Each structure stands twice: as structure tokens, then as C-alpha cells.
Homo-oligomer: A and B are copies of this chain.
Amino acid sequence: MTATLYKIGELAQKADVSVETLRFYETKNLLNAHSRSSAGYRLYSEQDLHQLYFILHAKKVGFSLAEIKQLLGVQVNKQQYTCEDVKHFTEEKIAQIEAKIDDLSKIKLALAQLNKACCGGEESAMHCSILHTLEDPTLFQVKGA
């Protein structure tokens, strides 16, 4: 069976990004088209689509394009790395992810506590505990305060 190839507009629609974004990713060497048509049109493979999903997803969880490039690009220079290197790299990334989850969980907890204390009623927010708490210097202890 012949592999299906998508033109840039088709890929863009499938992944819900703009064609400009796709061309931009190419300049950043994040996603190269599988091939080009005789007219020079970019032709993307199914695998390219999956790689695009990975990029978008990693982005969504807070990885920068530079980090994603690292994540994706290890296999390009296989000879220069050992399994030890590779494993170490993924372990670092996992640790980073855990740290991010931690941060977000704390923020979520803080917001949830604020939210819980608010009556949510239809009267004026004059007494709103969220607003009061946010201006309290002691609650969240900003670094050097």
C-alpha cells in the first residue's frame, strides 16, 4: 500500500494549527516534511502527523520548543550518545515534568482553598475572601517579603 501524504494545509487542519506554524516549525527544525512534490509543495507522512501531535502536546504541558527539539532530536545523532546518556536524558526530563506537576498542584491547592472560602453569592464582593486574601502579605510569602 502506498503511504498517504498530506499537503501542508491538510496537515494543518488535521492538527488544528496554522500552515504558518508548520512552516515555522520547519525553520526550527522541529518538523520536516517527509518530502516535496515536483512543484516544491511540502508533503507530510502519517509519522510526521504523529510527531506534530507530540510537539503540540509537549508544548501544551509547558515544554519550550527548544526542549521539545531536544526530546525529539536525540535519535538524530545516535552514534554520539550511549544508552547511559539517553537514559539520563529521559530521567532528567521526567524529573522536570514531576517538578512542573508539583508546582501546578501547589497553585491548584492555593486557588482551591481561596475558592472554597468564597461564598459565591450574588451580593457585592466587598467581603469576598479571595480578594482579601490576595492582598494579605503573609499568606503566600512572596520570596523576600
Contacts and interface: CB of A to CB of B under 8 A. Distances in A.
Q: Which secondary structure dominates chain A's binding surface?
A: helix
Nearest to A112: B94
A96 to B, nearest CB: 10
Interface in A3-36: 13-16
A43 to B, nearest CB: 16
A44 to B, nearest CB: 12
Given A120-B84, A121-B82, A101 B94 contact: no
Nearest to A52: B140
Q: How many copies does the complex hold?
A: 2
A119 interface: yes
Contacts of A130: 74, 86-87, 90
Of A16, A57, A114, A135, which is in contact with the most chain B CB atoms at under 10 Å from its CB? A57
Interface string A40-77: 00000011011101101110111000000001101100
16 contacts: A15-B145, A50-B139, A50-B140, A51-B135, A53-B134, A53-B140, A57-B134, A58-B107, A60-B140, A62-B111, A74-B125, A83-B123, A84-B121, A94-B112, A101-B101, A104-B104
Interface of A: 13-16, 46-47, 49-51, 53-54, 56-58, 60-62, 71-72, 74-75, 78-87, 90-91, 93-94, 97-98, 100-101, 103-108, 110-112, 114-115, 118-128, 130-131, 134-145
